[in-house]
Amino acid sequence: MTAATGLGTVTGAGSVESARPVRTGSRGARGWRWAVLVVLGLYFVVPIAASVWFTVRDRGRGGLTARYYTGIPGAEGFADAFTRSVLLAVLTVLFSLLLMVPTVVLVNLRLPRLRTTVELLTLLPLVLPPIALVVGVRSVLAWAPDYFLNTPLAEAFFALQEPALPWILVLVYVVLALPFVYRALDAGLRGIDLRTLTEAARNLGASWPRVLVSVVLPVLRTSVLNAAFLTFALVMGEYTIAVILGFVPFPTWIVQSSGSQPQLSVSVSVLSLAITWGLLLLISALDRRRAGKDLA
Amino acid sequence: MVPFFLYVAVFLLLPVGVLAVEAFRATDPVAFTESWSTGSIRAITGGAYRRAYLGSLRLSLITAVLGAVLGLALAVAVLSARRGRLLRRLVLTASGVAANFGGIPLAFAFLATIGNAGVITALLQNTFGLGLGGFSLYSMAGLALVYLYFMIPLMVLTITPALEALRPQWREAADNLGASGWQYWRYVGGPVLAPPVIGATMLLFATAFAAYATAKALVGSSVPLVTLQIADALSSNVVVGSENLGKALALGMVVLIGVVMAFYAWVQRRTQRWLS
């Protein structure tokens, strides 16, 4: 390692992300690195490439076709399931932000001693099998006909399970999104002296809601964007909870339609993966640009 | 803070608590009366359910270890690539997609590739006159292959922060003291990385253990996995009390994951001591 790079890394010693954290080794080491990249790269690219080929090849006449992609919007049940998923996703994003932004800010400003508890609780959904959670939710929902029949509570339980817009899914998805939302927001606050900012705002006479809206949210905007996006994608791809509770959002529809139209389900899958990746790349680019601006 | 704790209590802790209680209830097949019973719990420790637990554990263990090794290799390779900024961003975002949101789309991508009518299957058969060599996507091995597609990215995502925390100065100090590359990894890098690597492997294990969507879309219920068995028990209207069986199976999963996580928490405490 040369003196120049050595100096560079010393100045960057405390930073989370140094320019080249793992050093570039000898020629032999570089060989295995290439092997790893090529082999795993093939493993990750081949199924996607094969799926694309699977959906653009015209079996009847030979040649290429785009009809499995152009046919998506008109496919039976697609519009219903897709709009339902988008609606669920938007509601889940709003609910999680409403719940978690104040929580994260409070934990950071006022109640640091609750941090470990909150962290632990938000990490729980990451390891708790969703299928176990949903079995429990089903059992609770079954109380309505079993114990509470003809009470307002039972009516509320039934209203949550409206097939057109199942609110119960929103409520459970907020739980599933907790790890992503909490970590995204917490990471956003970590690099910022929130205490000074909020105290300045308070001294200037701003009320707490006003501080949240005009100071905290703008500071957190990339984190909020990140959290919102992760949650959105999570809901758009969630299958287990929906199918066990018997609802038909987008992923359940993909599986249902696969029997009759295999090409269609593959083309929808490819598109949804590609769109998710594209959006994630976009957000990471925005994130980087902002980081660059803040440094300058 | 109250809304947060209330929300978690109602939508996370309550369902799991209910699970723990109602797994010990039984419905009488004739009179439809309920009573306390350990029947469901005893039922899930034997026969097909025992096989399902063992199948799930085996699949999770194999994919977790393979995923951890390959993911670590990929993360090291990507982080140490020269001028690897773009590569790094591509790999990390792609990992985010595959690790968290793959599920159903991945299953279909693999069906289109090496399923019965898959592109690679057809290519091997028509061009080279070969099959897949006895390999079937609709088996344990096939599932493992698909699982790795989200396990390796998950490992990359979880282990990258730990790799970035390896200070280059440690390597330089080791070099200056005349250590070989192997000695550096044996006495410095390895011990520092071991706790996060073990922790990440636990997370991989839990993820594979809980996976349902991919398995359901690929194999239906022909492979013994506990998540598939739970779904079967819940959707069965024929057997009275199968609902309670489903609860017992789900409770079993929670208990097993709890044991794994207790170990994980212990490892994490050691990690904190090293990296803080």
Which has more pLDDT, B152 or A27? B152
ipTM for the assembly: 0.85
The confidence band for A197, taking pLDDT boundaries of 50, 70 and 90, is confident
Q: How confident is the model at residue A293 (pLDDT cuts 50, 70, 90)?
A: low
Give whichever of A86-100, A249-263, B109-123 has the largest mean pLDDT: A86-100
Return the pLDDT at A222: 80
- Mean pLDDT check: name the lowest of A7-11, A84-88, B222-226: A7-11
List, in sequence order, every residue forming a beta bridge with B36; answer none if it has no partner: B25
Find chain B residues with C-beta within 8 A of A36's C-beta: 73-74, 77
Residue of B nearest to A40 (CA): B74
Which among A269, A272, A288 is the top mutation candidate for probing chain B, defined by the most B β-carbons within 10 Å of its own β-carbon? A269
Does residue A4 or residue B271 have the better pLDDT?
A: B271
Dihedral class, residue B272 (left if φ above 0, else alpha if ψ from -120 to 50, else beta): alpha
Q: By CA distance, what is A276's nearest residue in B?
A: B97
B27 in contact with chain A, both atoms CB, cutoff 8 A: no
Contact B143, B219 (CB under 8 A): yes
> Is B257 inside a domain boundary?
yes
Say if strands B34-36 and B25-27 run parallel, antiparallel, or are unpaired.
antiparallel
Q: Which residue has the higher pLDDT, A184 or A20?
A: A184
CB A231 within 8 A of CB A181: yes
Residue B235 in this model has a pLDDT that exceeds 60: yes
Residue A15 is predicted with a pLDDT of 36
Whole-number mean pLDDT of chain A? 80
Class of domain A77-260: mainly alpha
For residue A237, give Cα distances in angstroms to A232, B86, B102, B106, B165.
Answer: 9, 27, 7, 11, 32
Q: What is the CATH number of the domain that holds B184?
A: 1.10.3720.10
CB contact under 8 A, A233 and B100: yes
Residue A2 confidence (pLDDT) above 50: no
Cross-chain Cβ contact B100/A131 below 8 Å:
no
Average pLDDT, chain B: 84
Q: What is the DSSP string of A149-203?
A: TTSHHHHHHHHHT-SSS-HHHHHHHHHHHHHHHHHHHHHHHHTS-HHHHHHHHHH
Choose among A125, A244, A281: nearest Cβ to B234.
A244
- Percent of residues, chain B, with pLDDT higher than 70: 90
| pLDDT-based confidence at residue B149 (cuts at 50, 70, 90) | very high
The whole-number pLDDT of residue A7 equals 31
- Which tokens is B275 given? 């990296």
Per the structure, how many domains does chain B have? 1
Calculate what percentage of chain B has a pLDDT beyond 90.
19
Q: Can you give the pLDDT at residue A295?
A: 46
- The reply to whether B34 falls in a domain is no
Q: What is the band of B161 on the pLDDT scale with cuts at 50, 70, 90?
A: confident
Option in B120, B227, B247 nearest A139 (CB): B247
- Shortest Cα–Cα distance, A104 to chain B (Å): 9
Domain extents in chain A? 77-260
Whether B63 maps to a domain, the answer reads yes
Q: Which of the listed ranges A261-270, B188-197, B208-217, B220-229 does the model predict with the highest average pLDDT?
A: B208-217
The answer to which of A64-68, A133-137, B56-60, B202-206 has the lowest mean pLDDT is A64-68
CB-based contact, B199 to chain A, within 8 Å: no
Using the predicted structure, report yes or no on whether residue B30 has a pLDDT greater than 80.
Answer: no
The answer as to whether B255 is a domain residue is: yes
Write the Ramachandran bin of B25: left for phi over 0, alpha for psi from -120 to 50, otherwise beta. Answer: beta
The residue among A69, A121, A131 with the most chain B CBs within 10 A of its CB, best to mutate, is: A131
Task: Please report the DSSP string for A94-119 in residue order.
Answer: HHHHHHHHHHHHHHHHT-GGGHHHHH
What are the pLDDT digits (tens) for A206-228? 888 888 888 888 888 888 888 88
What pLDDT is attached to residue A11?
A: 30
Q: A235 or A154: which carries more pLDDT confidence?
A: A235
* B23 vs B68: which has the higher pLDDT: B68
| Higher pLDDT, residue A23 or B116 | B116
Residue B50 domain-assigned (yes or no): no
Q: pLDDT tens for residues B123-143? A: 888 877 766 666 788 888 889
Who wins on pLDDT, A165 or A149? A165
B147 touches chain A (CB under 8 A): no
Average pLDDT of A12-20? 39
Winning range, highest mean pLDDT, from A87-101, A222-236, B75-89, B257-271? A87-101
Q: What is the pLDDT of residue B162?
A: 85
Of A40, A43, A140, the CB nearest to B15: A140
Give the pLDDT of residue B237: 60
Query: What pLDDT was estimated at residue B121?
Result: 83
Q: CA-to-CA distance for A84 and B227, rounded, in angstroms?
A: 26
> Among B15, B108, B112, whose Cβ lies nearest the Cβ of A136?
B15
Closest CA in chain A for residue B84: A20
Whether A1 sits inside 8 A of B213 (CB atoms) is no
Residue B45 lies in a domain: no
Tens of pLDDT, residues A278-287? 887 887 777 6
A279, exposed or middle or buried, with CB in 10 Å at 0-12, 13-18, 19+?
A: middle
Comparing A140-154, B58-72, B244-258, the range with the smallest average pLDDT is A140-154
* B181 CB within 8 Å of a chain A CB: yes
User: In this structure, is residue B6 part of a structural domain?
Assistant: no
B247·A180 Cβ contact <8 A? no
Mean of pLDDT values over A168-184:
92
More confident residue, B80 or B112: B112
CA distance B19 to B14: 8
Considering only residues B240 and B151, tell me which one the structure prediction assigns the higher pLDDT.
B151
Say which residues have a Cβ less than 8 Å from residue A270's Cβ, sequence separation at least 6: A48, A51, A52, A55, B105, B109
Residue A109 — pLDDT band, cuts 50, 70, 90?
Answer: confident
Q: Does B122 touch chain A (CB under 8 A)?
A: no
- Does B36 reside within a domain? no
Provide the residue range defining the domain that includes B91: 57-275
* Burial zone of A192 (CB within 10 Å; 0-12 exposed, 13-18 middle, 19+ buried): middle
* C-beta of residue B209 within 8 angstroms of C-beta of residue B257: yes
User: Does the pLDDT value for residue B221 go beyond 90?
Assistant: no
Residue B28 DSSP SS3: coil
Instruction: Please write the tens of the pLDDT for every residue from A134-157.
Output: 999 988 888 877 777 777 888 888
Interface-testing mutation among A97, A128, A135, with chain B (most B C-beta atoms within 10 A): A135
- The alpha-carbon gap from A143 to the nearest alpha carbon of chain B, in Å, equals 11
- Contact between chains at A273 and B120 (C-beta distance less than 8 A): no
Q: What is the pLDDT of residue A3?
A: 34
Residues of chain A contacting residue B230, judged by C-beta atoms under 8 Å apart: 131-132, 135
Instruction: Supply the pTM of this predicted model.
Output: 0.84
Q: Is the pLDDT of residue B44 over 60?
A: yes
Q: DSSP letters along B128-186, please?
A: HS---TT--TTSHHHHHHHHHHHHHHHHHHHHHHHHHTS-HHHHHHHHHTT--HHHHII
Neighboring chain A residues of B112 at a CB cutoff of 8 Å:
47, 50-51, 54-55, 262, 266
Residue A186 exposure: Cα atoms within 13 Å on the Cβ side = 17
Give the distance, in angstroms, between the CA of residue A104 and the centroid of all CA atoms in the same chain: 18
